[in-house]
Chains A and B, each alone.
Chain A
Amino acid sequence: MKKLRLIAGVLILGLSTAACGGAKVEDDSAAAPSASAAGSAGASAAGTVKIAINGWVGYEANAAVVSYLLEHELGYKVEKVTLAEEPSWQGMESGDIDVILENWGHEDLKKKYIEEKKVAVEAGPTGNKGVIGWYVPEWMVQKYPDITDWKNLNKYADLFKTSESDGKGQLLDGDPSFVTNDEALVKNLKLDYKVVYAGSEAALIKAAKQASDQKKPLLMYFYEPQWLFNQVKLVKINLPEWTEGCDSDPKKVACDYPPYDLDKIVSKKFADTGGKAYELIKNFQWTNDDQNAVADDMTNNGMSAEDAAKKWVEANPAKWQAWMPK
């Protein structure tokens, strides 16, 4: 009983302190627990930056280098929050996320969170050029040269049949949270295919490697920048050409993905109060090759994110020094 009373007391105390803060969802107690946790190396002096970590290694490469610089050059503490793309935007509203380091388009979310709710702002391009498309292993193109035209895909649908594709051809997609129009594309282009979700980037990579090594047919959703293109030869399928606005209605899309200029998004609060950390993130810009180098070290050379970032930072001082706040 005593314990119960104690617990109740603590709870009431907690609720009443919370009550004073007002009941809107912007969270002002940002980093209260983490700041107290970070006595180590006196690093917490400058504050905490909460970076969303989306589920592909290219993104993690951006985050690795930015975190390394924030921690070692500017003395911030970085909290990495593993989250899917759209929930990351929601995190800007709830106060759980300060920064998205590689955003792929998402015009609808920009409208909602930047224009309407005004809880997020753009922080400039990352310098990376993004491509999304459908790919087949190179050996298939040598064997079936006309496969790269989408109009011929139905002719080859039988090749791509698997136990999971309901007797149709299988189009292998990644994580359900990735940017994709594939189900609409299959429907609107009248393709005899079924979209099957592998669940993650790593599962796509594994499938691509197997398809290449064992000469198994594979049609899959994939994207650049990605280190895998340095290891495995993949050929992009030509979908109907993208024109401005052809993909404005997600249900009626019947054209290729647009070229993406990947960019950074930060929460409004972070833009206003982030100081040097915000400056650094706004200035951060590099190339696809830079990102691939770091991602490759992280995935294939057994390095931790921090070690890979350190290696890149030591090798490219001129690049990152240009990002440093003046």
Chain B
Amino acid sequence: MVSAPVQVAPPVQAPARVRRLPRWAGPVAGVVAVVALYIAFRGKAVLPHDDDAALFHWLNDARDWVDANRNSSPIFLYVVNYVRLGVSEIYTAIQAALVALGWPGLIGLAAGLGWLAGGWRIGLVSLAGFAGVGVLGFWEASVDTLALTLAAVVLSLLFGIPLGIWAGRSPRVRRIVTPVLDVMQIMPTFSYLSPIVLLFLIGPASATIATMIYAMPPAIRITALAIQRVPGVVVEASESLGATRWQTLRKVRLPLALNTIMLGVNQTIAAALSMVPLVALIAAPGLGVDLLRALARVNVGAALVPGVAIVLIAIVLDRMTRSAAQRREGGTRARIVRWGGFAVLTGAGLALTPVLAQEFPEQWQVQIIRPINDVVSWIEANWYTFTGFLNDTVAYGLLNPLQDVLTSAPWWLVTLSVLAFAWRVSGPGPAVVAAACLGGVAALGLWQHGMETLTIVLVASVITIAVGLLLGVAAARWRWFAAGLRPLLDAAQTMPSFSYLLPAVALFGNGRFTAIMASFIYAVPVVARLVEDGLRTVPATVMEAAKSAGSTNRQLLWKVQLPMARGSLLLAANQGIVMTLAMVVIGALVGAGALGYDVVAGIAQQEDYGKGLAAGVALVLLGVMLDRITQGANGRRSPHKKRNS
């Protein structure tokens, strides 16, 4: 039920044509039945939103209890508050250490580490990347962001790697851990901010914990995978030589798995960096604060520049850890060169720290906020009719009718349809889970808002997947197109999701369509990339065979490539939908309403706390539901943003 059995993509078969009729008769009958039931029962058994639901009050009371007992209940005195203090200390220590290095010291250290990991190339990338952050004028905030990221990554690895080793050794643990990780990664990041704030209050400690929850799954998953992959022969050899289990783990398994584990570290860092801006909502310092403030002022330039700073940090950390993951052979000489270079670069940086100014020199900073804003206001002034038209077309043509249908249909009809559809696409197990999740949303008293969120997600996913498919197909066909597209996709993938809201707001005003556009930009790179990869994996021999049989290009695409890449396409759809959900929720910050708004309001307004908490749970349920429906995708790996190198 949990992990879908590996299905082999059905080979293209011509004889299937004979059974065509019964194949589509089922779905058509189903659709007809649903439409008939909808017409018959329209407006009955709907669950209109009620702000006064008993559950919300109960959750508010629970919150009040926690607030009143924070300094007296033993759970808080001896567990929760210590966790908070400990995490806070870690963050403070890392932040203080980074600041104490001074900006030349930190840049030097980065360059040194880059050199150590991957020679002069990576050293240069690190040097340029960190210096670039300073040039953009966001040095101090970037150091805070870096400290927060590192704190979260250290904690994630501290818990994630042992857990991963354990899961890698024991299939039973793996069976328990996998679904939990699934949920952790599907959960829209927004949804767990309120419970964390309840337990750990606001501030860097809760921010670190929130980031950690998001960043830990790749560490666990990839470590487990790495340990599993260690060849059994080697382990047996070690054991037969009399090594204890601990020795085998330390001297055999871990060293052999190390390179893969480094990739896990790489993914963990990427995940942490994409979460870190968001936690500014709960008083975390760093670049997220600048992003939030820009959002509040509708200042596009001021939102893009910190976004670019995060991209720079992400690139540096990514290249560094990725080249560290490549095994490097070499004798003593090579080692001396590596460590020597590291020492020289770091030393040079540190030596400059007392000499140069405390703060990153202002004359070195480049002001690019204003030119960006000039461009934006020009677009705003001149494209107004076009963007307004686009907004209204999507709102009146797609969003409103779909929302009408979903909110006026009886809840059991929607649930049944989901059950049937998921059954058809992904099988009975996922279908039951999906339907149960939807039932859960109803039980939480958030049916109507859930349906509103679902409406936005569906429309956004359709647009995202359609465009992603086009881009992917084009990239798979023309090399030059792929080459031009790749850097754009890379950048779009590392930009914090926050930064996308503002250009969308500037163009389309506040509302659901803005959230759709932002999630489109956020999710389309992953979809395009997965489609392209899927199409490229179709064996050349098959293509040749089809060509020599006289297929046209179009036939080749529709009859050979797309069917054979079915697995990748489903994975692309799955990823696209889950990412869209995450972003649509953040769209509540710019007026997209629905569940996302409930969560935001829950953080910001006392009496809405219970509703916000419930909405967070409802979002998780929606996420799991959407994931299960599209789970026909087999062999899902870490569903987090994938960088296929």
Q: Which A residues have a C-beta under 8 Å from some C-beta of B?
A: 1, 4, 7-8, 10-11, 14-15, 17-19, 21, 23-25, 27, 29, 32-33, 36-37, 39-40, 53, 55, 57, 81-87, 90-91, 93-97, 108-109, 112, 117, 163-164, 175-177, 183, 196-203, 206, 250-251, 299
B120-156 residues with Cβ-Cβ distance < 8 A to A are: 140, 154-155
Q: Which of B93, B400, B505, B589 contacts A10 (CB 8 A)?
A: B93
Q: A57-B297, A206-B509 given. 16 additional CB < 8 A pairs?
A: A8-B158, A11-B158, A14-B89, A27-B203, A55-B296, A81-B289, A84-B281, A85-B604, A87-B202, A91-B203, A117-B67, A163-B392, A164-B593, A196-B510, A196-B511, A206-B298
Inter-chain CA distance A14–B88, complex, in Å, is 9
Q: Which of B77, B359, B593, B605 contacts A23 (CB 8 A)?
A: B77
Residue B201, interface by CB 8 Å: yes
Tell me, rounded to whole Å, the shortest Cβ–Cβ distance linking A63 to chain B.
12
Inter-chain CA distance A197–B589, complex, in Å, is 9
- Report chain A residues within 8 Å CB of B161: 4
Closest B-chain residue to A183, C-beta based?
B51
Inter-chain CA distance A53–B590, complex, in Å, is 19
The answer to whether residues A81 and B100 also contact, given A1-B250, A200-B297 and a CB cut-off of 8 A, is no
Q: Is the interface of B mostly helix, strand, loop or mixed?
A: helix
18 interchain pairs, CB-CB under 8 A: A7-B154, A7-B157, A7-B158, A11-B86, A15-B82, A25-B70, A25-B81, A29-B92, A32-B92, A87-B197, A87-B604, A96-B203, A164-B591, A196-B511, A196-B591, A197-B510, A197-B588, A200-B297
- Report chain B residues within 8 Å CB of A175: 296, 604
Let me know if B90 and A11 touch, CB within 8 A. Answer: yes
Inter-chain CA distance A90–B202, complex, in Å, is 7
Let me know if B298 and A164 touch, CB within 8 A. Answer: no
The contact string, 1 if C-beta is below 8 Å from chain A, for chain B 553-592, is 0000000000000000000000000000000000011110
Q: Which of A4, A87, A177, A250 contacts B283 (CB 8 A)?
A: A87
Residue B95, interface by CB 8 Å: yes
Residue B52, interface by CB 8 Å: yes
Q: Which of A25, A163, A206 contacts B391 (CB 8 A)?
A: A163
Residue B236, interface by CB 8 Å: no
Residue B423, interface by CB 8 Å: no
Inter-chain CA distance A25–B89, complex, in Å, is 13
Let me know if A37 and B157 touch, CB within 8 A. Answer: no
Inter-chain CA distance A176–B77, complex, in Å, is 33
Inter-chain CA distance A8–B155, complex, in Å, is 10
Let me know if B81 and A203 touch, CB within 8 A. Answer: no
Let me know if A203 and B93 touch, CB within 8 A. Answer: no
- Report chain B residues within 8 Å CB of A32: 92, 96
Residue B170, interface by CB 8 Å: no
Let me know if B510 and A198 touch, CB within 8 A. Answer: yes
- Report chain A residues within 8 Å CB of B396: 163
Let me know if B590 and A199 touch, CB within 8 A. Answer: yes
Inter-chain CA distance A117–B85, complex, in Å, is 20
Q: Which of B78, B392, B510, B604 contacts A84 (CB 8 A)?
A: B604
The answer to whether residues A17 and B359 also contact, given A25-B71, A86-B606, A199-B589 and a CB cut-off of 8 A, is no
Tell me, rounded to whole Å, the shortest Cβ–Cβ distance linking A321 to chain B.
30
**Interface size grouping (class) on chain B:** 35 or more
- Report chain A residues within 8 Å CB of B86: 11, 14-15, 18-19
Q: Which of B281, B283, B392 contacts A91 (CB 8 A)?
A: B283
The contact string, 1 if C-beta is below 8 Å from chain A, for chain B 67-111, is 100110000111001101110111011011001100000000000
Let me know if B99 and A197 touch, CB within 8 A. Answer: no
Residue B322, interface by CB 8 Å: no
Let me know if A203 and B400 touch, CB within 8 A. Answer: no
Let me know if A164 and B395 touch, CB within 8 A. Answer: yes
Closest B-chain residue to A32, C-beta based?
B92
Tell me, rounded to whole Å, the shortest Cβ–Cβ distance linking A43 to chain B.
11
Let me know if A33 and B298 touch, CB within 8 A. Answer: no
Tell me, rounded to whole Å, the shortest Cβ–Cβ distance linking B642 to chain A.
26
Residue of A84, A183, A198 most packed against chain B (CB within 10 A): A84
Q: Which of B99, B511, B593, B605 contacts A177 (CB 8 A)?
A: B605
Inter-chain CA distance A25–B88, complex, in Å, is 11
Let me know if B282 and A87 touch, CB within 8 A. Answer: yes
- Report chain B residues within 8 Å CB of A112: 67
Closest B-chain residue to A36, C-beta based?
B96
Let me know if A176 and B601 touch, CB within 8 A. Answer: yes
Q: Which of A1, A29, A83, A197 contacts B254 (CB 8 A)?
A: A1
Inter-chain CA distance A250–B76, complex, in Å, is 31
Q: Which B residues have a C-beta under 8 Å from some C-beta of A?
A: 51-52, 67, 70-71, 76-78, 81-82, 84-86, 88-90, 92-93, 95-96, 99-100, 140, 154-155, 157-158, 161, 197, 201-203, 250, 254, 280-283, 285, 289, 292-293, 295-299, 358-359, 391-392, 395-396, 399-400, 505, 509-513, 588-591, 593, 597, 600-601, 603-607
Inter-chain CA distance A85–B391, complex, in Å, is 32
Inter-chain CA distance A21–B89, complex, in Å, is 11
- Report chain B residues within 8 Å CB of A183: 51
Inter-chain CA distance A23–B80, complex, in Å, is 9
- Report chain B residues within 8 Å CB of A299: 297
Residue of A17, A83, A109 most packed against chain B (CB within 10 A): A83
Let me know if A108 and B89 touch, CB within 8 A. Answer: no
- Report chain A residues within 8 Å CB of B203: 27, 91, 94-96
Inter-chain CA distance A199–B511, complex, in Å, is 9
Residue of A10, A33, A250 most packed against chain B (CB within 10 A): A33
Q: Which of B90, B201, B281, B392 contacts A90 (CB 8 A)?
A: B201
Closest A-chain residue to B255, C-beta based?
A1
Tell me, rounded to whole Å, the shortest Cβ–Cβ distance linking B447 to chain A.
16
Let me know if A24 and B71 touch, CB within 8 A. Answer: yes
Inter-chain CA distance A40–B197, complex, in Å, is 33
Let me know if A163 and B395 touch, CB within 8 A. Answer: yes
Residue of A23, A81, A90 most packed against chain B (CB within 10 A): A23
Closest A-chain residue to B295, C-beta based?
A200
Inter-chain CA distance A14–B509, complex, in Å, is 47
Tell me, rounded to whole Å, the shortest Cβ–Cβ distance linking B197 to chain A.
8
Let me know if B591 and A197 touch, CB within 8 A. Answer: yes
Inter-chain CA distance A304–B509, complex, in Å, is 26
Tell me, rounded to whole Å, the shortest Cβ–Cβ distance linking A270 to chain B.
16
Tell me, rounded to whole Å, the shortest Cβ–Cβ distance linking B90 to chain A.
5
Let me know if B201 and A86 touch, CB within 8 A. Answer: no
Q: Which of B88, B283, B589, B604 contacts A81 (CB 8 A)?
A: B283
Inter-chain CA distance A183–B51, complex, in Å, is 10
Let me know if B505 and A203 touch, CB within 8 A. Answer: yes
- Report chain B residues within 8 Å CB of A198: 510, 590-591
Let me know if B358 and A39 touch, CB within 8 A. Answer: yes
Inter-chain CA distance A13–B51, complex, in Å, is 47
Let me know if B96 and A24 touch, CB within 8 A. Answer: no
Inter-chain CA distance A1–B601, complex, in Å, is 45
Let me know if A36 and B511 touch, CB within 8 A. Answer: no
Closest B-chain residue to A196, C-beta based?
B591
Inter-chain CA distance A91–B509, complex, in Å, is 32
Let me know if B202 and A15 touch, CB within 8 A. Answer: no
Tell me, rounded to whole Å, the shortest Cβ–Cβ distance linking A121 to chain B.
19
Tell me, rounded to whole Å, the shortest Cβ–Cβ distance linking B506 to chain A.
9
- Report chain A residues within 8 Å CB of B67: 112, 117
Closest A-chain residue to B76, C-beta based?
A23
Q: Which of A24, A25, A176, A202 contacts B605 (CB 8 A)?
A: A176
Residue of B100, B154, B201 most packed against chain A (CB within 10 A): B201
